[in-house]
């Protein structure tokens, strides 16, 4: 039996996942796994459930069926005596600290400064000292090209700058898993490249596992090890970006790609 520290254990594993909103079944019998350090891009038509998958991993949505494992440990439910039993809030919180997410709409706290946004979770969730968290926050602000914005409030920054702060905030937790949900969709086209370059660098210089939802084909091609195409709540095709993007074998795939991706 593999243990959670076994390198063969997937970092993220979906087993027979079902997600419904009322009568709307968005994901059904969804099975996939992501290995440590792997960067996986999810693509699919609007409404196919890509964002929902990320939100389930972040425990922002309630899982209505099946199981999600992080490092081999159940994130929301485990099977016990043939029954599906919820894990304790404490167990869930422990796993959650390993996961960071960057959202389309930045989701920064508007009443806090940039620095306060970044140090909040490291201090209150990880128990870091204020000095340690602050030093790391300044270094991350340097890394995302905003060394002089620590004392500003998010709403005084441009969208691209706010997204860079959001990336710094996610990285401040040293996440094992980074979830990127259409992080450039709300940005002016001229700043999209800057934000993606920061993420390319994160991909190049860390071993963080990434689950990415994006319409930016070049970015997906550059950073992903694997692309998974979703439709009807299931994976319909998966493979290397070269395979999926450059040589779509079926006409259906070709049409599908031209509908959902843009080359930026």
Positions in the binding site for ligand ATP (CB under 6 A): 21, 24, 26, 44, 46-52
CB of 152 to ligand ATP, least distance (A): 30
Closer residue to ligand ATP (CB): 48 or 162: 48
Closer residue to ligand ATP (CB): 69 or 103: 103
CB of 29 to ligand ATP, least distance (A): 16
Closer residue to ligand ATP (CB): 47 or 147: 47
Closer residue to ligand ATP (CB): 77 or 215: 215
* b/e sequence 122-152, b meaning 16+ C-beta within 10 Å: bbeeeebeeeebbebbbebbebbebeebbee
CB of 151 to ligand ATP, least distance (A): 34
CB of 25 to ligand ATP, least distance (A): 9
CA–CA gap between residue 49 and residue 231 (Å, rounded): 8
Closer residue to ligand ATP (CB): 112 or 235: 235
Closer residue to ligand ATP (CB): 51 or 134: 51
CB of 51 to ligand ATP, least distance (A): 3
CB of 228 to ligand ATP, least distance (A): 12
């Amino acid at each position: 039996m593999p243990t959670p520290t076994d390198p063969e254990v997937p970092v993220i594993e979906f087993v027979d996942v079902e997600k419904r909103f009322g009568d709307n079944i968005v994901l059904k019998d969804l099975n996939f796994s992501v290995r440590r350090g792997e960067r996986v891009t999810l693509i699919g038509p609007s409404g196919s459930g890509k964002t929902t998958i990320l939100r389930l991993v972040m425990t922002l949505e309630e899982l209505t069926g099946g199981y999600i494992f992080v490092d081999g440990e159940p994130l929301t439910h485990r099977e016990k005596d043939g029954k599906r039993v919820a894990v304790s809030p404490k167990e869930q919180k422990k796993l959650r600290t390993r996961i960071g997410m960057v959202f389309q709409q930045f989701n920064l706290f508007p009443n806090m400064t940039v620095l306060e946004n970044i140090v909040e979770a490291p201090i209150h969730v990880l128990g870091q000292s204020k000095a340690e968290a602050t030093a790391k926050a300044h270094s991350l602000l340097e890394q995302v090209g905003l060394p002089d914005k620590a004392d500003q409030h998010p709403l005084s920054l441009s969208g691209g700058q706010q997204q860079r702060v959001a990336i710094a905030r996610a990285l401040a937790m040293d996440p094992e898993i980074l979830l990127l949900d259409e992080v450039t969709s709300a940005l002016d086209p001229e700043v999209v490249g800057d934000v993606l370059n920061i993420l390319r660098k994160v991909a190049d210089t860390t071993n963080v596992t990434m689950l990415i939802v994006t319409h930016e084909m070049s970015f997906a091609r550059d950073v992903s090890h694997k692309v998974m195409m979703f439709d009807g709540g299931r994976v319909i095709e998966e493979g290397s970006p070269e395979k999926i993007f450059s040589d779509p074998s079926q006409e259906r795939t070709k049409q599908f790609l031209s509908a959902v991706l843009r080359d930026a």
